[in-house]
Structure 1
Amino acid sequence: MISIALIDTKHPFYPLEQELRNKILLRPIGVPDHAWEMHDEKSWHFVAVENETVIGCVVLVPLNPEQTKTQLMQMAVETNQQGKGIGKLLVNHLIAFSKSKGIKEIVCHARDNAVPFYLSLGFEIYDDPFVEVGIQHFHMRINL
């Protein structure tokens, strides 16, 4: 059974989340481990857990002091678990959490191959594509 947990950087699952992010997102494109953790302390972390193992994660970073605008970052699902709806489960949980906190907008930088995934969840593309960490990305957002 897969469950979604909201954790912080002191939680025992946090090192497992870090390893998943490094393995799935950073190492394949040559970015050093832990390079995208600069916002982790102030962020909300959602992890998908099965049998005490973190198999998916996503980070929600507040972008303004009122915490009404946020950025979805560092979405990762274990390779052998991809395509099973875990990412959708994580983002739907993140959206429900955001609504409960009065968050009005979630933005993200979606890699080219992730755009259809985010579109299917109600996000829209805005602004021009751009290159980040050597990969084409799209500005995407959802208004709640």
Structure 2
Amino acid sequence: MQGPLYKQEQDLRNRILLRPIGLPDHGWEMDDHKAWHFVAVENEQVIGCVILVPLEEGQSQLKQMAVETMFQSKGIGRLLITALLRFAKKQQLAAIVCHAQDTAIPFYVKNGFEIYGEPFVEVGVPHHPMRITL
């Protein structure tokens, strides 16, 4: 399961996603063993990542998307989403869902996702359920 870039992916997720909201390092790796991992690499360093966790009935959940701070707003997230969607279509998945923080909603909307359902709080942070049908 663990490729040569996994430790860098873990470090990026810890620094960008978990520590800023007070969660312990490695606190959200419970799905890593069954997820597909996508990473963006520059000069042999992981600068972006996202995982896709299989669910039931042809759906998967996009989770743990992170981009190195100095590379944010430079199209890395869009490239990761594009690769993830291309892969999901090849796997013949019907839909991808995600839990988006308020600040991430415009990014996901630009990439074809839509809000469905009611907002909720996850790990102390407001989120909205989002999905894209493939």
The 1-side partners of 2:117 and 2:127 are apart by 11
**Correspondence 1:91 to 2:81:** yes
The 2-side partners of 1:29 and 1:101 are apart by 33
Paired-residue identity, %? 63
The 1-side partners of 2:32 and 2:87 are apart by 17
For 2:96, the equivalent position in structure 1 comes to: 106
Select which of 95, 108, 113 maps to 1:123. 113
For 1:57, the equivalent position in structure 2 comes to: 49
How many residues are treated as equivalent by the alignment? Answer: 134
| CA positional deviation for 1:77 | 0.0
SS of corresponding position for 2:14:
helix
The 2-side partners of 1:72 and 1:61 are apart by 6
Runs of 5+ consecutive residues of structure 1 not aligned to the other structure: 1-8
Matching of residues 1-144 of structure 1 within 5 Å: 9-64=1-56, 68-144=58-134
The 1-side partners of 2:26 and 2:52 are apart by 16
AA aligned to 1:31 is L
SS of corresponding position for 2:2:
coil
TM-score by length of 1: 0.91
The 2-side partners of 1:41 and 1:133 are apart by 21
| CA positional deviation for 1:133 | 1.0
TM-score by length of 2: 0.98
Residues 49-68 of structure 1 deviation map (CA, whole Å, 9 limit, x = unaligned): 0010000000000012x6x1
AA aligned to 1:58 is V
| CA positional deviation for 1:10 | 1.7
The 1-side partners of 2:100 and 2:110 are apart by 13
Deviating beyond 6 angstroms after TM superposition, the runs of 4 or more aligned structure 1 residues are none
